[in-house]
């Protein structure tokens, strides 16, 4: 994994999070369905069934958003790395002592000010 590109790692982590999220959601759905089976009244049973269905729907929507975000981030990273690899590096220009600007003395500044008047 040390040599892997980060976009691949991002996708793998998202996949792991997706499976973990869906596993927990299914466990919670099964728990609510179990409570619905044990419920005394029809109204209570229906409420637990509705909660089980809503739990799975919400978890599925969250997992899709998570996967979409991870894909966007991974694509963006890969695109940025391709762009960085294709951009030429500008050579650093070294300045010599001759190229340094000459500082003006106080006398030169005064003379320039007099000419401007």
User: What is the greatest pairwise CA distance in the chain?
Assistant: 104
pLDDT over 50 (residue 2): no
- Reported as a single tens digit per residue, the pLDDT across 40-83 is 999 999 999 999 999 999 999 999 999 999 999 999 998 988 88
* CB-based contacts of 67, cutoff 8 Å, min separation 6: 14, 15, 18
Of 10-24, 60-74, 99-113, the poorest mean pLDDT is in 99-113
Q: How far apart, in whole angstroms, are the C-alpha atoms of residue 53 and residue 26?
A: 10
- pLDDT category at 96 given cuts 50, 70, 90 is low
């Amino acid at each position: 994994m040390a040599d892997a590109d980060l976009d691949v790692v991002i996708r793998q982590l998202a996949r792991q999070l997706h499976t973990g999220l869906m596993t927990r959601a299914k466990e919670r759905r099964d728990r609510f369905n179990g409570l619905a089976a044990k419920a005394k009244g029809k109204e209570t049973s229906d409420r637990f069934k509705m909660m089980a269905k809503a739990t799975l729907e919400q978890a599925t929507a969250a997992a899709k958003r998570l996967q979409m975000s991870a894909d966007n981030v991974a694509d963006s990273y890969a695109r940025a790395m391709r762009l960085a690899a294709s951009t030429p590096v500008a050579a650093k220009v070294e300045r010599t002592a001759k190229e340094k600007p000459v500082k003006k003395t106080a006398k030169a500044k005064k003379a320039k000010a007099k000419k401007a008047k």
